[in-house]
A and B are shown apart, each in its own frame.
Chain A
Amino acid sequence: MSGSFSVVLPIVILVGGAFGMTSITMFLRLKNKAAAVLTILILLSALVALIYVVDRAPDPDPSASAFYGVLSPDGILFKVDYLGIYLISVAILVGIFVSVYSGESLSRDHRFVLYYPLILLTISGLLGLFFSTDLFNIFLWVELTTVSSSALIAFRYHHEAAVKAGFKYLIMSSLGGMIMMLGVYFTYRSTGSLALSVISDHTDLFTRIGAGCFLVGFWIKAGVFPLHTWVPDVYSQAPSAISGLLAGVMSKSMLFLAPAVCLRLGMSSSELGLFYILFACMNMLFGSIRLLKQDNIRRFLAYSSIAHTGYLMFALGIGFLYELEAAITASLFLFVSGAVMKSLAFLAAGIYEYYLHSSDVEDLKGVYRRMSLPAVTGSIALAGLAGIPILAGFNGKWLVFSAVLEISEPMALLGLALFLLSSVISLGGYLPMLAIQFQPSNGDRSDNAGTPVRDRISIWMALPTAGLVALVVLLGVIPSPWLRLIDWFMDWVSFL
């Protein structure tokens, strides 16, 4: 073993933390809230370790020093990936909010002992994916995220639909995994190596087929149309906080991971860009049209997520096809804004579900009088997703438009027109969803004096939603610090 152990420290903290906290929770018989706090501490430690990794990298070329493992063509090696660090930092941030929220939402379920470790394993899987330098390890980490995510999705196992959703996700992801394995086969057959650094110097038709296989595999996990079929079921049946984590961070991260692998396997930047743009258009239109007629708020958010996957793919596609740094910057901003807005929306939907025992849109009529917090925070999330100024989503939109209009290429402009069309169509869904919460309802619960009864929202649920609202507003009003951070990361992103 050589290199710096600090490189794998965040992974060790997350994986070790997952197993450690399971033992501690069981041994000390910790309550749910204590387990949530423990998870938050582990996530914070991992975040600090990530910052430490960034801080310790003295060389602008991370391949020179920032690694840990066996330095041989067949050895297992982890390398610092700055794109991964950026994405995982956001994942950890969302994970912290989700854990705080789960401190209340899981209080009715005694299986929290498994819940929090699964969250940690899912995030660690993502980190392992970005830090791995060979195809086999990438495959293994993909499987880890699949298994842990499937377990989280089917967590409410007493609901048949939840089990089905978890099973569906498992089948779809396994299919993706098998296709990736096929990619591994083609690549190994041609180059005799699984190390990305070796393969990238010997690319040929077979490695390019392998790249295609990995692209399909990652796209299944990202929920790209027409491989999206698991998305509505999973996001509507998983615990709401988990849906937020999956929709906001985990699935979108796959869109960044695919280029990092495919470009090294010989796929050209322009090919990748073209694929991304074409499928982005389908995602945008499909997602925005389907969200119009949803009568379940979580299915509505799932289709919204498909549309947003399209927006993100479009920005990335423009970046790759025209080698435009501004578009990649836009995609990184869209990622963080989407993560906070989507997780906020799912958390607000989860609060409704927790107190109303329903996620039907019809039951949200006039809910503002009963629960003003989720109504306001959920509305801010919806307004942000709709791209209303001065919220995070609007700045993302502005950055994408700026990038496209800077190059003014016909294909980019056509994509932009579809982007605009999609955002107008989706307004037809966002606005009624936003309004229904504030409309008068005949079924207000009242006390003896006729005053409407208001539900007291637990502080464990109120705090993370308030924190996410602050982030949605801050990213909208003061985006400069985050843009500077993205700019700093852009210098280090290897596939650029």
Chain B
Amino acid sequence: MKITELLLTGIILLPVSGIILMLLWRKASKTQAAIVAIISEGFALVIPIILLAELRTGQPVSFSVPWIPMLGISFSLELNWLSLVFLLTEVLVTLAAMVYSLGEKRGEKASNFYYSLLLLFSLGMSGTTLAEDVFLFYVFWELMLIASVLLILIWGSGKNRSRVALKYFIITHIGSLMVLVCLITLQVQTGTASLTALAQRAGSLPPGMQQFLILFFLIGFCVKMAIFPLHIWLPDAHTVAPMPVTIVLAAAMLAMGAYGILRFPIALFPVQSMQPFVIWMMVAGVISEIYGALMALAEKHVKRIIAYSSVSQMGYILFGLGSLTAQGIMGGVMHVVYHAIVKTLLFMVVGIVLHAAREKYIQDLGGMAKLLPVTTICAAIGVLGISAMPPLGIFTSEWMIFTGGFRSGYPVFLTVISLIGSLFTVFYALRFFGKIFLGELKPSDSTGNPNKALLVPTIAVTVFLLVEGLAPAPLLTWVMRGLSTVFGGAY
């Protein structure tokens, strides 16, 4: 076993060790559990960075051992430039959420269980991005769902959390089952479970079957992305979940749907098989973008405003991917990263505001800038970020997405509508900031001085957002390499 293979398995096995340790350490305090979780998750951040040198040689880092030989299933992992982008995004978001959890009241009881589930949630996402075998992909795909459902069920707020968790589980599980049917069909019809081999063979399947698979994959992954009208699980789940879980759900898990679309329908099937779906993906993207923005504009619950913003932002990503142009896809992937950063920041800000004001409706809030000056600066940068103000990152990704739209060869008005629709994003972002931070202080018994555990990660994410926006070159290079290795120049 080569050292690189060992390191690659470490991304999975070290967090697993952390989970086991925490489950055994029943008397661990919240801080102790958090330290174990952060260290375990830290490995998933450090190892891919170490493996960057190997990736630069032009070859992906892979590891494979037979798992269920009779079914042709193996435990195969692969780190390439594309999975690297999604992996690092997800790990960074989870790390930020873990630190942020220290300042949250939730998770005080049975914190070992809480942090092990948070780690399992992240492990599911890491495994999804690294899986090179369809069986393994689905196992990790479901792990992330199970962990998140349990987190909502046990630590969610409100009496209706069981109903919300059930709704979230059943709706996303229906999407997962559609993906499962596609994965098994691919395996039995091509005789391989390896994604690399599937990329060679899936194109030779009968055209009708290819269309069926693409359709099912797209619906299945769009459920996870919460694209309108498959988004109905999202607002409730984001509202009920504890804030750190909401952060991971919105900033990282939704992106897994985009990753699925990239790895399966787009990467496996020829361009001509995808063509009939292009217009529908773009239309669904635009509708989701505008619907999400309008709902965010009308919503009064602060958490739900940001939740609906996710529906809108996922619309941009689907629009970019659906354009099937190099710029559009690249913009979509970059939007995943920038959205993750901005969404993490905005939810962290909301968390601090809710702690300070103990009010959750926007009409009951105001003048928070007087109490929370640092948070206000972070919020302002976050709001500018989501509004796609240059030089912040989302400006770059949206630029590329719209360029992809114009170059897609489909009616220009679709991209124009999308561009106009982005104005609604600015409206809800400004309403969010203005109503909460400006004007008279409401409610009067609000308290300042947020917990450092809440403020420090918020500031760190803000700085990261600025750095990413000002220096997008490394990310752009990674994404370009990722797309060329996975798609081999098809787009």
Contact = CB atoms under 8 A, between A and B. Distances in A.
To the question of whether A and B form a pair in one complex, the answer is yes
B188 A480 contact: no
A492 interface: no
Q: Which of A399, A439, A480 has the most CB of B within 10 A?
A: A480
B177 A420 contact: yes
B166 interface: yes
A430 to B, nearest CB: 10
Nearest to B66: A480
Interface stretch (A158-166, A274-282, A400-408): A400-408
Interface in B222-272: none
Given A389-B138, A435-B162, A479 B170 contact: no
A438 interface: yes
Contacts of B188: 402, 405-406
A431 interface: yes
Interface string A459-496: 00000000000000000000110011001000000000
A487 B70 contact: yes
Interface in A392-442: 395, 398-399, 401-402, 405-406, 416, 420, 423-424, 427-428, 431-432, 435-436, 438-439
B82 to A, nearest CB: 24
A431 B165 contact: yes
B166 A402 contact: no
A388 B146 contact: yes
Contacts of B166: 427-428, 431-432
A30 interface: no
B177 A424 contact: yes
A321 interface: no
Contacts of B70: 480, 483-484, 487
Nearest to B152: A435
A428 B185 CA distance: 26
Contacts of B189: 405
A402 B184 contact: yes
B69 A480 contact: yes
A438 B153 contact: yes
Contacts of B338: none
A432 B162 contact: yes
Contacts of A427: 166, 169-170, 173
Nearest to B146: A388
A401 B181 contact: yes
Nearest to B67: A480
A480 B70 CA distance: 7
A479 to B, nearest CB: 6
Given A389-B142, A402-B187, A402-B188, A431 B149 contact: yes
A177 to B, nearest CB: 40
Given A402-B71, A423-B177, A435 B170 contact: no
B95 to A, nearest CB: 25
A483 B67 CA distance: 12
Nearest to A379: B150
A484 B173 CA distance: 31
Contact of B165 (A395, A399, A435, A480): A435
Interface string B135-162: 1001100110010010001100000001
A146 B187 CA distance: 44
Given A388-B142, A480-B69, A401 B184 contact: yes
Contacts of A438: 153-154
B185 to A, nearest CB: 5
Contact of B143 (A389, A432, A480): A389
Contacts of B68: 395, 479-480, 483
Contacts of B67: 480
A38 interface: no
Contacts of A423: 177
Nearest to B139: A389
A293 to B, nearest CB: 14
B180 interface: yes
A406 B189 CA distance: 7
Contacts of B169: 427, 431
Interface of A: 383, 388-390, 395, 398-399, 401-402, 405-406, 416, 420, 423-424, 427-428, 431-432, 435-436, 438-439, 479-480, 483-484, 487
The 4 closest A-B pairs by CB, nearest first: A389-B139, A406-B188, A401-B184, A405-B185
Given A398-B71, A424-B170, A427-B166, 20 more contacts: A389-B138, A389-B143, A390-B139, A398-B135, A398-B184, A401-B180, A401-B181, A405-B184, A405-B188, A423-B177, A424-B174, A427-B170, A428-B166, A428-B170, A432-B166, A438-B154, A439-B162, A479-B68, A480-B67, A483-B71
20 contacts: A389-B142, A390-B139, A395-B68, A401-B181, A402-B71, A402-B188, A424-B170, A424-B174, A424-B177, A427-B169, A431-B149, A431-B165, A431-B169, A432-B166, A435-B153, A435-B162, A435-B165, A439-B154, A484-B70, A487-B70
